[in-house]
Structure formats: C-alpha cells, structure tokens
Chains A and B, each alone.
Chain A
Amino acid sequence: MIEAVIINGLVSAGVYALLATGFSLIFGAARIINLAHTAFYMLAAYLIFTLATTLGLNLWLSIVLGVAAVTFLGVLTYRFIIARVRIHDTTTLIVTIAITIIIQEVLLIAYGGHFRSVPAMVAGYTELLGVRVTYQSLLTLGVVLAVMLGIWLILMKTRLGTGIRSTAQDREVANLMGINVPRIEMITMGLAVALAALAGALVAPLFSLEPHMWTHPLVMVLAVVILGGLGSIKGSLMGAVILAFSETLVVFYAPAGAYLKGAMALTIMLLVILLRPQGLFGVSFEEER
C-alpha cells in the first residue's frame, strides 16, 4: 500500500509541480493571476488526442506539435488580450476566466462531454518495490525532473533567466537596466504555457480527458503556489509534493472519502498560510510599489 501511495503521489506531485511552476513564473514576472493556466493544459491534452488518435499521426510528433501550437496560442492570448487589460487586476482575472470558459465550450462543442483516452507513449510496466508501475508513470517522473532542471538552469544560468528574475524582483529597475520588460513578460508567458502544455501531454495517457478537467488541477495549482509561496520555484516544488501526497493518502486510505481530497489539500494550505502568510518560501510583498 505505502509503495503505491509513493508512486502515485510522486506522479501527481510531478504534474502539479509542472503546472504550478508555470503559474508561479508568470505571476512572478508579470503579476498576472492566470486562471486560464490549466485550460491550456487541457487544450494541449485534447490537441494531442486529436493529432494522435483522429489524424493518426505519430504520438511523439503530435506531442511536439500540440505543445508548440498551444504555446503559440498562449503567447497570442497574452499579447492581444491579457496584456491590454493587465493594469486592471480584477479585469485580468475575469478575462482569464472568460478565456477558460471559451476553451472549455469549444472543446465541449467539438468533442462532446464524453471521456476520451490517449494511448500510452510507452507501453508495459515493471515491478518496483513489489508495485506494478507503468513505464508511462516512470516516463512522466523522468520528464518532470528533466524539465524542472531545465527551468532552473534557464532561470539561473542564462541571460534570459537573469532578465526574468530581475523583472520579477522590480519591474522599474529592470527596465532602467535596459531589460526589455514587455518582451521578457511575453517570453515568460510562452514558457509558462509551454510547461502547462507539457503537463497536459504527460497526463493525457494517464487520466481520461473531458472538458471540465481543468477545474480540479486549477484549484490544486492555486493551493500549491500559495502553500509554497508565489513566485518561488522551490516553493512550488515543495507545495506540489506536500499536497499531492496528502491527496493520494486520502484516496488510498479512505477510498469512501475520496471526494474529501480537495478539501483536505485546501485545509492544509489554509493552515500553513495562516501561520506563514507569505507561504513556505514566498517573498514578502511588503515593499511592493
């Protein structure tokens, strides 16, 4: 039992970490709460489903195409919709909700409300600690680790990363130092949406697809970033691990109370931020201008 909890917990922690990192990145660089984040994740999963199952393309090719298309769409949405209203906080919030509803309704009209599934990228399974682990789960974990490492390298070791981090720290000063802030924000949005799309590609074979699949991950991502501290990659990672395991524990040890998994995770988040209002690793926004 405990082994199954570990494996399943790790997989969902990986997915939440990918989603939360992207959410946190765009919040950090542009101070946008992008509630459409998991809608892009859902869109990517559906696109890959269409390309691979309906059009019969190679699965890997469809993943690349799907992630690229969704990233492009995300950047377009940012450039032509979100960037225009972002000085009005609440309006930005509603605009991202409207984008989410549009994506959901388009998928609902195009595919109906049925559950769909995507074939696994790698078939088969192996025995680990006496638990049956599909190669798909292992692949998911591997990709998550590689991507997180890649993001960390981009943020810490490249000029682009320095630009993103300084924009997140102080927009005005970053601008004065010759950093093209609007461009950095657009690139960050692309990066964030690409992470969401990648998460969508990874879960497509693991979970079934339906046009409301964005709600639960959205709530979990919000809880993860708040728990870990907004704008902190380390925090998102820790938050994802904590909440994913609390969810998995509820599902495995109290199957009858599986509907409580969301409530459980949110309660943990509330307790933590009541003790630490800036989250576990969050930067305090006290001096925010």
Chain B
Amino acid sequence: MIGLLGSYLRRPYKELKGEVLVLPSRTIVVVFCLALLLLPLLTSDSYTLRIFILAGIFAILAASWDLLSGYTGQMNLGHALFFGVAGYTSALLNTNAGLHPGLSIPIGSIAAVVAGLIVGIPCLRLRGPYLALATLAFPLILTGVIFAVPGITGGELGISGLSVLTGSRVGDYYLIMVLALVLGFVMWKICNSKTGLIFHALREDEVAVRASGINTTRYKLLAFCLSGLFAGVAGGLYVHFMRIASPSSLELMLSFQVIIWAVFGGIATIYGPMAGAFVLVPLTEYLRNMPPPVDEMRMLIIAAIILLVLLFMPEGLVSRLRDRMEKVCPRCKIRNIASRHECRICHTALD
C-alpha cells in the first residue's frame, strides 16, 4: 500500500525537486502561493483578508497590462478602460437582468474583449507615444458618457446593490486567490509560448516580425483582446466584491496605478507585476493604519519608495532580485542558481 502510494508520489516529487526547487525564484513563487492559500487558516480578520482580496484582483489587472504593454510594447495608458467596461457590464447585467455573478463576470469580460478590439483596431496605425496617449483618452471619454446617462449608469454615484460573490469573506478570498493564481499562471504560460515569443518580438522589432511572414496586425489585436479578457475578469470580480460599480474604476489614477504596480515589479515577466500589486497594495493599507503623521503621508511614502526602488533598479524589483539569484547558461539559455559553477543541464561553465 505504502509502496503504491510512494510510486504515485514519486513523479510529482521528482518534478518538484528537479524543476522547482533547483531555482530560488520558482521556490519563492511556490512558497508564496502556499502562504496565500493558507492565510485564512492563520487569521480570520476580515479586514486583512479584504486587503489581500483587493491585492489579488489588482494583481490580475497588473499582469494583464503586462501581457499587452510589457510584452508587445503597445503602451496602454488607459488600462482602466477594460476594468471599468467589464465592471459596468457585470453590474448592469446583475442588477437589471438579475444574472448570477458566475454569468455576469464572464459576459463582462467578453465586453472588455470587445473594448479591446474597439481600442485596438483604430490604434493599429499609431505607434510609440501617440499610441500611449491615444489609449489614455478612451476611459476618460467613457467617463463622460457615463455621466451623460445617469439614468442607466447611476452617474457619479455608480451602480450599487450588486449580489455577493460567495457570501462569506473566506469564500470570496479563496475564489479570488485561486482565480488570481490560475489566471496568472495562464498568462505566464501564454507569454512563454510561441505566441508570447511573437509578442516579445513585436516589441523589439515590428518590421523584422512582419518580414518573417507573421501577421503582426493579428497578433497585436490578439494581445489587446487577451489583455482585455483578463483585465475584464478583474473588473467583474472587483464590482461584485465591492458590490458597487463607480466611475472611479475608470479614473486616470487607476490606469497609472496599474503601470506603477507593473513597472515596480518588473515588466515582461507576468509574475513581476503580480508581485508589485501584492507588495504595494498591502503596504498602502498598512501605512493607512499607522499613527497620525504617517497615515496622511502614506501616498508620499509610497511614491518615495517607488522612486527610490526604480532609481536603483530601473528594470523592476522582482526582475533585479531574480537576476541576482540566478544566471542564464550562455549555451542552452536555461536558468541556474547563481551559486552554481556549471549549468545544471549541459554542464557548460558559468561565469
């Protein structure tokens, strides 16, 4: 019996040992995921859980920005559009048609995909700063539209009274954390696939990609749609968790915040932006609860931290730490822990 169990467990154990534990970065990711999933066992404080739920939602959002702007270099300064469109669609479907969150969130995400197409198609002709600043306009225009039809959208007050996700804080926590981790993993897989390689190549040299016979238009639109999809899930989860969809989900500052989380963690990695959100969101909340002189200065402190970190690690916190702990084999391009002297796969000497 034990022998049978052992033979079943040997494969995963070997995989774990050979693929995960050899690299400190992967070990940290696994430990972090386990810690997130075990957190409700350690504390049932609903405020702590709420902060981590928000961090999880924003981690999905930051990673979806990275998928589009970090990988393909299509700088999107209006990422809040996808978040807001999905949020408002979910909220309208939920309050008016009484749709269950299990349906309204996916439909909201589809709406965000459509928004991705609406932004993406006209923006195909734009590049660099023109693209960045054109994308910035969309959420602000939508805010104007939302204020113009308060009968449907609730205007400045937004739509409130949405149905709850699961009904309990711990249930919400597990739903959102599992989704955040799974979606993060899916995005990471996409970006490490052939599609991700093409996304990366688009950022480096679009002409060369086109010369290689790749339809760049299709891949750019694909990036916009995928990014919209994941950001849409985050938007739908957010409105159902907060139980209100308000114009603040389209604000300029939210778009900036997404980029702050992503760049702080390190772009074009997926896990970097997620880590950025998981560090900065709880940190802001922690500072909010400090004694008086500090709590009012929390934004100042956060901005100063961001400035200092980026000044000394312009490629982002997580990217820098990873490069410190690991080095890439010059021959087979496999990552190795920095303390090794030869590559773990091809035994090439590492410098």
Q: Is the beta-carbon distance between B310 and A95 smaller than 8 angstroms?
A: yes
Complex Cα spacing A160 to B148, Å: 49
Q: Is the beta-carbon distance between A277 and B267 smaller than 8 angstroms?
A: no
Residues of A within 8 A of B263 (CB): 90-91, 93-94
Complex Cα spacing A179 to B49, Å: 58
Set B259, B299, B314: member contacting A88, Cβ < 8 A: B314
Q: Is the beta-carbon distance between A266 and B137 smaller than 8 angstroms?
A: yes
Is there a chain A Cβ closer than 8 Å to B71's Cβ?
A: no
Expressed in whole angstroms, the minimum distance between the Cβ of A110 and any Cβ of chain B is 11
Is there a chain B Cβ closer than 8 Å to A207's Cβ?
A: no
Is there a chain A Cβ closer than 8 Å to B58's Cβ?
A: no
Is there a chain B Cβ closer than 8 Å to A245's Cβ?
A: no
If the complex has contacts A91-B314, A94-B259, are A277 and B132 also in contact, measured as CB distance less than 8 A? no
Q: Mark B170-185, 1 if CB is under 8 A from A, else 0.
A: 0000000000000000
Is there a chain B Cβ closer than 8 Å to A158's Cβ?
A: no
Number of B residues near A (Cβ < 8 Å) is: 44
Q: Is the beta-carbon distance between B128 and A263 smaller than 8 angstroms?
A: no
Is there a chain A Cβ closer than 8 Å to B2's Cβ?
A: no
Q: Is the beta-carbon distance between A262 and B310 smaller than 8 angstroms?
A: no
Number of A residues near B (Cβ < 8 Å) is: 47
**Chain B residue with minimal CB distance to A269?**
B137
Expressed in whole angstroms, the minimum distance between the Cβ of B343 and any Cβ of chain A is 29
Q: Mark A74-106, 1 if CB is under 8 A from B, else 0.
A: 000000010011011111011101110110111
Expressed in whole angstroms, the minimum distance between the Cβ of B258 and any Cβ of chain A is 11
Expressed in whole angstroms, the minimum distance between the Cβ of A56 and any Cβ of chain B is 28
If the complex has contacts A91-B263, A102-B303, A109-B297, are A270 and B134 also in contact, measured as CB distance less than 8 A? yes
**Chain A residue with minimal CB distance to B127?**
A285
The stretch that binds A, out of B23-31, B99-107, B138-146, is: B138-146
If the complex has contacts A90-B69, A90-B263, A260-B144, are A105 and B314 also in contact, measured as CB distance less than 8 A? no
Within 8 A of B (CB), among A33-87: 33, 81, 84-85, 87
Residues of A within 8 A of B136 (CB): 219, 222
Complex Cα spacing A93 to B296, Å: 25
Q: Is the beta-carbon distance between B300 and A263 smaller than 8 angstroms?
A: no
Is there a chain B Cβ closer than 8 Å to A273's Cβ?
A: yes
Is there a chain A Cβ closer than 8 Å to B286's Cβ?
A: no
**Chain A residue with minimal CB distance to B155?**
A259
Is there a chain A Cβ closer than 8 Å to B213's Cβ?
A: no
Residues of A within 8 A of B137 (CB): 223, 266-267, 269-270
Residues of A within 8 A of B296 (CB): 109
Count of A-B residue pairs with CB < 8 Å: 121
Is there a chain B Cβ closer than 8 Å to A10's Cβ?
A: no
Residues of B within 8 A of A288 (CB): 128
**Chain B residue with minimal CB distance to A86?**
B314
Expressed in whole angstroms, the minimum distance between the Cβ of B117 and any Cβ of chain A is 15
Residues of A within 8 A of B252 (CB): 215, 219
Complex Cα spacing A277 to B148, Å: 29
Complex Cα spacing A18 to B232, Å: 39
Is there a chain B Cβ closer than 8 Å to A226's Cβ?
A: yes
Expressed in whole angstroms, the minimum distance between the Cβ of A114 and any Cβ of chain B is 15
Expressed in whole angstroms, the minimum distance between the Cβ of B254 and any Cβ of chain A is 12
* Interface set of B (CB-CB < 8 Å, partner A): 69-70, 75, 122, 125-130, 132-134, 136-137, 140-141, 143-145, 147-148, 252, 256, 259-260, 262-264, 267, 296-297, 299-300, 302-304, 306-307, 310-311, 314-316
What would be 6 A-B contacts, judged by CB atoms less than 8 Å apart?
A102-B300, A105-B299, A106-B300, A223-B137, A260-B144, A285-B128
Task: State the 6 A-B residue pairs at the shortest beta-carbon distance, nearest first.
Answer: A263-B144, A105-B300, A266-B137, A101-B303, A94-B263, A98-B307
Known: A219-B136, A277-B127. 8 other contacts (CB 8 A): A94-B260, A94-B264, A95-B311, A263-B143, A264-B144, A273-B126, A273-B130, A278-B130
